[in-house]
């Protein structure tokens, strides 16, 4: 791929180390990526904290507020496959810095809104585009370029970073909303998104070859990157991928993953718990605690992905998730009780444990195009999340309860199990041809 004319952000060269370096620079890049994903977690967790506050201040219904989240999740997903190609064309550093600044502007402008369409524009469109530009494509691109060994483990760690960031942002955001109003929380999100752009500018490098290195664990030069313009390449890869049965099975199961995590629990767990009398700060702390076990579960999933059939891992994960969601309506209470804590632990271990095996299956079936293919699979994840985020809000407005949504989500997980079982014998897709 010809990148000589691509815009870049200049940074000081890394001085060569004398002799063999003690630490492969892949781990520095992974550390920067981890920090970015940790610091940017706030913009994903803040909407669920703001729902009751926005309802009380503006009188907007849960369905109206959820529509902004739906737009956010949809654009998050639709941007992801193009972001992978944009990172190939213009560089990871430029794309990620622009994405973080877009999030910062979108969150900051939210403070000035007075009408629902302004919430959709700021939080739905701007934050959605920014977050989608460094969604799964970011972690997948980093691990694909910099690692040959430990790919599953590093993918798991980077995937868990968002959940780990929630450990800070959810309790802090809930406290800010309760004590100082929702505007204080969006200010923190805006500043955090700007702050984490700094280490990207200073330390991020595009490829190991830029430093005269091989990817970590590699013994020979990797194949040359596929060339072509970002939009054309993304669409070409999609055109090739949709011919594969494996793509549709992965996309369908991952859409259900999004529906049952970001769309339902991530968006509506806090207001649902509040409906049963649990304080918002306590509900936010429970959602943050899910993040604690998500970190453990996702890193463990990455470790298992390097050793166990990824298809079987997905079957187990979706089956356990569905069981926990079917039981949830009976576990809510007006105070913190052991049953809801048990759900938090059980569900948290499974929250995004599906990502490392899904990424591994994309690599298995689509080779060097895996980051872009995973971007399209992630788009389906976010569309599933967007649909359920909106429907759950409308269901709450119509029935006065979220119970039906939890039961429906459990049923969807059973469908995901069937889809993953059907991956047996799906065969590998032909790699997409290089663009001229």
Q: What is the mean pLDDT of residues 395-409?
A: 92
Cα separation, 260 vs 143, whole angstroms: 26
pLDDT band at 4 (very low <50, low <70, confident <90, very high): very low
Residue 15 predicted with pLDDT over 60: no
Q: Distance between CA 52 and CA 60 in Å, rounded?
A: 9
| d(C-alpha 427, C-alpha 436), whole Å | 27
Work out the angle at residue 81's Cα, subtended by the Cα atoms of residues 318 and 103, and round it to the nearest 5 degrees.
95
CATH number for domain 25-211+229-421, candidates 3.20.20.140, 3.30.300.280, 3.40.50.300, 1.20.1250.20: 1.20.1250.20
Domain ranges of the chain: 25-211+229-421
pLDDT on residue 164:
66
Backbone angles phi, psi at 216, to 5 degrees: -60, 125
Choose the weakest-confidence range: 57-66, 74-83, 326-335.
74-83
* Percent of the chain whose pLDDT exceeds 90: 22
Residue-wise pLDDT for 266-285, tens only, equals 888 988 998 898 888 888 88
- ∠ CA 10-15-18, rounded to 5°: 165
What's the CA gap between 312 and 409, in Å, rounded? 21
Question: What Cα–Cα distance (Å) separates residue 257 from each residue in 15, 250, 318, 353?
Answer: 44, 10, 8, 10
Distance CA 83, CA 130 (A): 10
Mean pLDDT of 359-372: 86
For residue 202, pLDDT beyond 80: yes
What does each C-alpha distance from 435 to 35, 233, 387 come to in angstroms? Answer: 34, 7, 34
Query: Residue 8, Cα to own-chain centre: how many angstroms?
Result: 26
Return the pLDDT at 407: 96
pLDDT for the residue numbered 163: 63
Helices 245-258 & 403-421 angle (0-180, nearest 10)? 160
| Digit-coded pLDDT (tens) for 116-144 | 898 889 888 888 888 878 766 677 788 88
Burial of 330 (0-12, 13-18, 19+ CB in 10 A): exposed
pLDDT in tens, 102-116: 988 988 898 888 888
**Residue indicated by tokens 């505007």:** 183
Q: pTM for this one?
A: 0.70
């Amino acid at each position: 791929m010809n990148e000589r004319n691509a815009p870049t952000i200049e940074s000081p060269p890394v001085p060569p180390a004398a002799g063999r370096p003690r630490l492969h620079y892949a781990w520095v890049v992974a550390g920067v990526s981890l920090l970015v994903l940790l610091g940017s977690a706030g913009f994903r967790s803040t909407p669920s904290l703001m729902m009751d506050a926005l309802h009380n201040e503006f009188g907007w219904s849960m369905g109206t507020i959820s529509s902004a989240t739906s737009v956010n999740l949809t654009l998050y997903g639709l941007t992801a496959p193009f972001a992978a190609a944009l990172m190939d064309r213009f560089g990871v550093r430029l794309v990620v810095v622009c994405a973080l600044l877009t999030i910062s502007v979108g969150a900051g402008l939210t403070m000035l809104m007075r009408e629902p369409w302004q919430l959709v524009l700021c939080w739905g469109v701007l934050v959605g585009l920014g977050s989608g530009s460094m969604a799964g494509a970011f972690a997948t691109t980093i691990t694909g370029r910099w690692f040959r060994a430990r790919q599953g483990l590093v993918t798991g760690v980077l995937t868990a970073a968002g959940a780990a960031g929630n450990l800070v942002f959810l309790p802090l955001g809930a406290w800010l909303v309760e004590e100082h109003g929702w505007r204080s929380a969006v200010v923190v999100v805006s500043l955090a998104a700007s702050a984490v752009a700094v280490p990207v500018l200073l330390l991020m490098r595009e490829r190991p070859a830029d430093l005269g290195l091989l990817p970590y664990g590699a013994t020979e030069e990797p194949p040359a990157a596929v060339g072509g313009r970002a939009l054309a390449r993304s669409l070409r890869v999609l055109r090739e991928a949709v011919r594969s049965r494996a793509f549709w099975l992965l996309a369908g199961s991952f859409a259900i993953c999004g529906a049952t995590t970001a769309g339902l629990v991530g968006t509506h767990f806090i207001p649902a718990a509040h409906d049963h009398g649990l304080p918002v700060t306590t509900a936010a702390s429970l959602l943050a605690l899910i993040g604690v076990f998500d970190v453990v579960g996702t890193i463990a999933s990455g470790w298992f992905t390097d050793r166990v059939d990824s298809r079987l891992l997905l079957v187990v994960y979706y089956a356990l998730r569905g069981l926990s969601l079917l039981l949830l309506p009976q576990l809510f209470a007006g105070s913190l009780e052991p049953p809801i804590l048990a759900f938090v632990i059980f569900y948290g271990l499974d929250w995004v444990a599906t990502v490392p095996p899904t990424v591994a299956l994309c690599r298995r079936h689509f080779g060097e195009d895996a980051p872009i293919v995973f971007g399209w699979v992630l788009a389906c994840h976010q569309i599933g999340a967007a649909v359920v985020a909106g429907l759950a809000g409308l269901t709450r407005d119509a029935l006065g309860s979220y119970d039906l949504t939890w039961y429906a989500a459990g049923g969807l997980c059973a469908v995901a199990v069937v889809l993953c079982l059907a991956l047996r014998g799906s065969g590998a897709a032909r790699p997409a041809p290089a663009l001229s």
